[in-house]
Amino acid sequence: MTKNIAIIGCGAIGYEIAKSIDDRNIPNCRVCVLFDTEREQLDYLESDLTNKPDAMFDRFDDFITSDIFSKIDFVVEAASIEAARRYSIKLLQEGKDMMIMSTGSFSDPTFSKEILNLIHNGGRRVYLPSGAIGGADILRAVKGYIDEVILTTTKSVNSIKGAPYFLKRGQNADSIFDKTTIFEGSAEEAIKEFPSNINVSALVSLAGIGFQDTRVRVVVDPLIETNRHEIAVKWKYGEFYIKINNRPSPSNPKTSYLAVLSAIECLRSALVNDIQIGS
């Protein structure tokens, strides 16, 4: 049975997911609805799809009160933390299962609790992709025995400038000429100072020991050309270290292509019954 997918957010990642479904990389599903508050995004994506969606909406209320809403089997949020927080609860309450790309939305404990309630008591299913990192399996496995989790993100001057961290301090990232650790603190603090890194910090926190106990370091390296994430974990019966260098998506220099592929794989495993590899 073909599953009808609605995509919330038709920016770079929403575009790639829709195209991937359109190219039949994920069996037995189709893009049924596109939603984005910007009409141009909708039109641009629709024009690139071979199999046209049944409907497009730029107002959320129009979408959920439409006739087509009841046909939707699964919703992909690929918009923003604000959109995830604004729309997810309503969609889950209406009986839709979801993949939420903006994992940073779970840094709000009230939102987190409401979503968990809809899963545990409402029977809904919610999937969070690993995004620009990996190792959610091992973090989840050892989470009860962890002594320390340190996430180190190394960014170029260009990819970090404009962060609230610099604005608050009246500093300029362009004045960093040597590799420098500019921040060390909890994931909770880090996501306020560096919101562009929020999804990675959130995923490590959610899979492991939470936003308060996960340590985050932010390093600026004027010579680096990729985005680099390192996860170092000490736990009771061992330790592990994960280092990931990501090059950008060919269609969007601001997104690691791994984040796109991870979303597609997450969606595939949510929709297709296949051998489930990795705890």
Amino acid 275 reads I
- The reply to whether 245 sits in an annotated binding site is no
Strand partners, 19: none
Instruction: Pick the piece of the chain touching its own copies (CB under 8 A) from 9-17, 71-79, 84-92, 122-130.
Output: 122-130
- From CA 262, how far away is CA 22, in angstroms rounded? 17
Distances (CA, A) of 20 to 13, 49, 133, 157, 260: 10, 10, 20, 32, 10
- Comparing CB distances to its own copies, the nearer of 33 and 203 is 203
Catalytic option among 203, 229, 262, 269: 229
- Comparing CB distances to its own copies, the nearer of 185 and 238 is 238
Q: How many other C-beta atoms are found inside a 10 Å radius of the C-beta of residue 50? A: 8
SS3 assignment, position 214: coil
The one among 18, 26, 33, 115 contacting its own copies by CB under 8 A: 115
**Residue from 78, 98, 79 nearest 88 by CA:** 98
- Comparing CB distances to its own copies, the nearer of 170 and 250 is 250
- Smallest distance, Å, CB 48 to its own copies? 21
- Comparing CB distances to its own copies, the nearer of 162 and 278 is 278
229 is catalytic: yes
Q: Is 145 in the site for its own copies (CB under 8 A)?
A: yes
- From CA 88, how far away is CA 69, in angstroms rounded? 14
**Residue from 71, 60, 217 nearest 151 by CA:** 217
The one among 123, 162, 164, 185 contacting its own copies by CB under 8 A: 123
- Comparing CB distances to its own copies, the nearer of 75 and 263 is 263
**What track of x and - describes contact with its own copies for positions 14 through 53 (by CB under 8 A)?**
----------------------------------------
Q: Answer yes or no: are the C-beta atoms of 103 and 202 closer than 8 Å.
A: yes
Q: Is 135 in the site for its own copies (CB under 8 A)?
A: yes
- From CA 261, how far away is CA 267, in angstroms rounded? 10
The one among 128, 176, 182, 191 contacting its own copies by CB under 8 A: 128
Distances (CA, A) of 39 to 56, 78, 234: 9, 16, 48
- Both structure tokens of 115: 């979503």
Which residues of the chain form contacts with its own copies (CB under 8 A)? 115-116, 119-120, 123, 125-130, 133-142, 144-145, 203, 206-207, 226, 236-250, 256-258, 261-266, 269-270, 273-279
Positions at the binding site for NAD(+)? 132, 199
Which active-site residues does the annotation give? 229
